[in-house]
Chains A and B, each alone.
Chain A
Amino acid sequence: MSISRRTFLKISSATSAGLLVTGRSELKGAQEQGGRSDAADERWVPSVCLQCPGGCGILVRVVEGRAVKIEGNPKHPINEGVLCPKGQIGLQILYDPDRIKGPLLRVGARGAGQWKQIGWDEAVQRVVSRLKALRARGEAHTFVFMNGRNRGQMGDLIGRFCSAYGTPNNVGHSSICADGSALAHYLTQGIKSYLGYDWDRTNYLLCFGAGFVEAWRPTTRLLRAYGHMRRGRPIRAKIVQVDTRFSVSAAKADEWIAIRPGTDGALALGIAHVIVKEQLYDEAFVARHTFGFEDWTDAKTGESRLGFKSLVLREYAPEKVSKITGVPVETIVRIAREFAATRPAIAAGERGASMQSNGIYNRMAIHSLNALVGSIDTPGGVIVQRGPSFTAWPDVVQDDLAKVGIKMHRVDSAGTARFPLAGKVYQGLPEAILGEGPYPVKALFAYYTNPLFSTPDVGRFYKAIEKVPFVVSFTPFMDETSEHADLILPDHTYLERWHDDVIYPSLGYPVVGLRQPVVKPLYDTRNSGDLLIQIAKGIGGSVARSFPWTDFVDLLKFRFRGVWEGRRGTIVAPSFAAFWKKLTEDGVWAAPPYRFGEWGEVLKTQTKKFEFYSNALEHKLHDLAKKEVEKAGEKGSEVTEAQALERILVGLKLTARGPKVYLPHYEPFRAPGDPRQFPLLLNTYKLMTHAEGRGANVPWLQEVLGVHTGMKWESWVEINPKTAAELGIADGDPVWVESQVGKLRTRARLYPGAQPDVVNMPFELGHQAYGRWAKGRGVNPNWILVNEYDYLGGTAGFFSTRVKIFKA
């Protein structure tokens, strides 16, 4: 490494350039002022962070009623006392001068920023009367509840609200997050969620398109794991990063494997080919715990079916895979041997692999590697997160209006032949609202989510929201969606409210943190949990009866009673009151250790095995085909099931046919547009400082925005230096990045870690609202991203945009 004096100075060189003498008038400011010792009114309040879904425990130092520092809570097993930069900056969320300070009613045009302050009673009454009127007209299903970072009981509460009210349209944001992974886990393990990983004991991490030390989750847990894997134990784990760019995670890995976008699945299958061919796989695990490895015969039809082994041997030889992925043959063979020999090994993957037009199959292929080396439910392998034993919810009370409404088709077509495995299609709402959906959307709630910023081809949402007659936002901040709302019912920030936080899948054993107010709410804001209960009560009847709690804390206590009754974990108390008191003091309840070998919890597929061949997928597609046959029959036309299935597969843009459809395989990556007109692929990514899309209003994060480029407060596009030279672009030049959707003006950074035909832009900036520190700064790549899908799961293909770049 060449570390010279210049290395340290080039960053801060401007500081010493020139000699400027400034006035000394403020020198008297240097006198001691307001200095204090720690005898004054000072306390540390435990709570839970909300800067990502990680759920880290925090301790907030409160001096004379002001929160002045946030540290990690040593008792919380996710972060054990440490904290990432996003966790450190919470004070600038709490004390953001541009927070919404009370309920607001729009008085001007949509988005014009003209508001009237109203009282809470009036605000609640307006919502209640709108929702009641919709129900009375039998239009409960036209109400859409968009929600994002729910955490803890808020997710269930929102689901419950929708069920009681009578709408199927509870639209969470995971189809633009990382649903591709959850669905791949569902198809192979029968578990529709993210999985945990026993990082501390793994010896080899093969990481596909996940920003392990930048943007994966739970952030602090991963950062801790990284340190532990390197030097926290006698054996140093090897980390191999498969990535389309030289990310910080790639730099911090032992090896970076540069790969063509959207081809991660092919690489995984090439690795599987070598492992199978050289018989390096865990034969005992494969024989005992997997289904569909060998060719097999369908007992019902007597047909012979293709197994995973035959498929990878036949189709994914390293030579062929190398042509698809751009990864050298020797590398594929070597990584395969290392991965199989250095057990326990983990193959992990996230957005770079999962949120592609072929994302679910990519993730199935990657996850299959874990099964091949027996890394499922083993120390140092993949584990399955267990939850706390909350008291079961009482049944939702549904009147006839609710029963009818809930049975309506979802407005986003999730679960239909268009998006068979989808639970929700967040980014598909604009088309649904603008006329493709089965019915108009007449009311929309947005809780902790900002579709007018976060969806690909985001301009569509600006058009769509104009068609919705009643939009309500719950956020503490004036983000883009709030700016286009009719009514804003601002929540507290997370440092002012009661809320629980069940950890993101990670440690395996149950953990739940308690978020509690560290200071009194600064403004006239209200806990959205309280508010939903209040609105339900206002609607009355069966909706009200579904919410027998006085407020959100009452609901939390109801649910936590079950945890107390379990009499296990870090808090065991003689009474619930004592349990609750200790919970407020510790900030967390946990029940370690992880229990290995509970196979019923780990493999929940139809066969109770890891399914290389997914029965669930086969059944789903065949069921949908049967429905199509019935539908056609009703219309008097005759369609066979095979024909209907073929139509569905064509609609899903899948190239595979036959049993291959249900096996991990490589579907060619799709990127619409003409490569001659738009010769570069646009890769987007999240920075450590990104706070999952919510960090742009935080000066502390803005000022350390891109550690690998040194960029602060503004956006950039990373271009390979050779490509830039061909285009006549120099470092720092203003450039246009143009796709078939639109163009953005930003700054070029020549970055050797960009591949010649792929340019990289981070998310985070480019807000049109969201307070003084976010608004009008940088660009948001979502304005030029093509809205491509992995139709199978209704998930966004975030990396399918072709662009050209030219000097501005």
Chain B
Amino acid sequence: MPRWGMVIDLDKCTACQSCTVACRVENNVPIAGQRDSSNGRAIFWNEVIPVIEGDGTHLKGRFIPRPCMHCENPPCVQVCPVGATFKDAEGIVRQDYQRCIGCRYCTVACPYGARYFNWRAPEFAESHASYRNPDAPARPRPVGVVEKCTFCVQRIERARRRVAAEGRELRDGDVVPACVQTCPGRARFFGDLDDKHSQVSRLARSPRALRFLEDLGTRPQVIYLMEG
């Protein structure tokens, strides 16, 4: 049983936001439109967060792509009153839209801002229907539920079906989430953190490796490699 994790190398990241867009295309994330966007209600399972500090010519700018951290100890799961959000057997923090009552405790509890509420029916739903990803787990979500990054579970399923057809086990690199596949700087890596030979577990042992807000005890399964 793998324990899925991701590594993001900030030194290779170009802040291009291809991950953000690829994720929204792949996962049928609705378009919010101007009004909801300006109210902070646009949904981004993966968002690139700017951190610009200093002044004059002494500026430091960082851009942090932020998917769900799929914490080993996820605060969102602890506060969910109905068990709609849970950690699955492979370490992915999942969301059951049918159980979700829309209380948004999880959204408040998540220190990374990785959870989003469907405030209203998406804008442009009609034209979006033309190019919707038909894969089952990526189907559009109803109004009133919280949604979030799934590490592209539909792609994990597809990879499983593919290797089963080839009569073999999953190997490192078989599963490629949409953000990883498109990343032009090749800054993102995905794989089994428990496989000590996998690329992600090797990178996670780098001296540049860092987990955000570790002091909160969340133990993220998304690990960053620092710049410079």
Contact = CB atoms under 8 A, between A and B. Distances in A.
Interface stretch (A93-101, A450-458, A723-731): A93-101
A701 B112 CA distance: 23
B73 to A, nearest CB: 16
A19 interface: yes
Nearest to B117: A15
Contacts of A16: 104, 107-108
Contacts of B120: 22
B156 interface: no
A562 interface: no
A752 B13 CA distance: 22
A704 B124 contact: no
A7 B97 CA distance: 28
Interface residues of B, number: 94
A85 B21 contact: yes
Contacts of A258: 57
A694 B114 CA distance: 31
Interface in A70-107: 70-72, 79, 81-85, 87-89, 91-92, 94-97
Contact of B14 (A81, A91, A252): A252
Interface stretch (B38-46, B167-175, B191-199): B38-46
A709 B133 CA distance: 30
B42 A251 contact: no
A642 interface: no
A332 interface: no
B186 interface: yes
Contact of A223 (B111, B121, B144, B184): B184
B151 to A, nearest CB: 17
A259 B64 CA distance: 27
Contact of A220 (B121, B140, B184): B184
A112 interface: no
B127 A230 contact: no
A712 B143 CA distance: 22
Size category of the binding interface on chain A:
35 or more
A24 B55 contact: no
Contact of B59 (A29, A256, A701): A256
Contacts of B225: 231
A710 B50 contact: yes
B24 interface: yes
A33 B37 CA distance: 28
A272 to B, nearest CB: 23
A29 B97 CA distance: 9
A89 B182 CA distance: 12
Contacts of A752: 52, 54-56, 59
B57 A69 contact: no
A66 interface: yes
Most buried by B among A92, A224, A704: A704
Interface in A247-268: 248, 250-252, 254, 256, 258
Given A30-B97, A91-B131, A713-B37, A708 B121 contact: no
A2 interface: yes
B112 A8 contact: yes
B185 interface: yes
B156 to A, nearest CB: 13
B102 A11 contact: no
A658 B124 CA distance: 63
A11 B46 CA distance: 12
Contacts of A26: 121, 142-144
B119 interface: yes
B213 A3 contact: yes
B38 to A, nearest CB: 7
B18 A95 contact: no
A437 B12 CA distance: 51
A1 B144 contact: no
A688 B17 contact: yes
Interface stretch (A34-42, A624-632, A644-652, A736-744): A34-42
Interface in A730-777: 752-753, 777
B18 A88 contact: yes
A94 B131 CA distance: 9
Given A12-B116, A708-B52, A22 B136 contact: no
Interface string B37-80: 11111101001111111111101111110100000000000000
B40 A12 contact: yes
B61 A753 contact: yes
A213 B15 contact: yes
Contacts of B82: none
A753 B130 contact: no
B140 to A, nearest CB: 8
Contacts of B184: 79, 82-84, 219-220, 223-224, 227
A81 B181 contact: yes
Contacts of A708: 15, 50, 52, 61, 63
A88 B144 contact: no
Contacts of A95: 127, 130-131
A284 interface: no
A88 B21 contact: yes
B200 to A, nearest CB: 15
B26 to A, nearest CB: 6
B141 interface: yes
B59 A15 contact: no
Given A33-B139, A63-B134, A82-B181, A703 B37 contact: yes
B135 A36 contact: yes
A227 B17 CA distance: 14
A214 B107 CA distance: 32
A22 B143 contact: yes
A87 B51 CA distance: 26
Interface in B20-38: 20-22, 24-26, 31-34, 37-38
A578 interface: no
B163 interface: no
Contacts of A84: 16, 18, 184
Nearest to B22: A88
Nearest to B143: A26
A226 B12 contact: yes
Contacts of B104: 16, 19
Given A8-B113, A712-B34, A22 B144 contact: yes
A136 interface: no
B205 interface: no
B77 to A, nearest CB: 17
B158 interface: yes
B149 interface: no
B59 A714 contact: no
A597 to B, nearest CB: 31
Contacts of A17: 40
B102 A7 contact: no
A699 B12 contact: no
B71 to A, nearest CB: 13
Contacts of A224: 184-186
Nearest to B210: A3
Interface of B: 9, 11-18, 20-22, 24-26, 31-34, 37-42, 44, 47-57, 59-64, 66, 97-98, 101-102, 104, 107-108, 111-114, 116-117, 119-121, 123-124, 126-127, 130-137, 139-145, 158, 161, 178, 181-187, 212-213, 216, 225, 228
Given A7-B49, A22-B119, 5 more contacts: A30-B142, A38-B161, A223-B16, A251-B62, A699-B123
Interface of A: 1-5, 7-9, 11-17, 19-24, 26-38, 40, 63-64, 66-72, 79, 81-85, 87-89, 91-92, 94-97, 213-214, 219-220, 223-224, 226-228, 230-232, 236, 246, 248, 250-252, 254, 256, 258, 688-689, 699-704, 707-710, 712-714, 721, 752-753, 777
19 contacts: A15-B117, A21-B102, A22-B144, A30-B97, A63-B134, A84-B18, A91-B130, A213-B16, A219-B184, A227-B186, A230-B12, A248-B15, A252-B15, A256-B57, A688-B16, A702-B34, A707-B50, A721-B55, A752-B54
Q: 9 smallest A-B Cβ distances: which pairs?
A: A35-B136, A251-B61, A14-B40, A227-B185, A223-B184, A29-B142, A227-B12, A713-B34, A213-B14
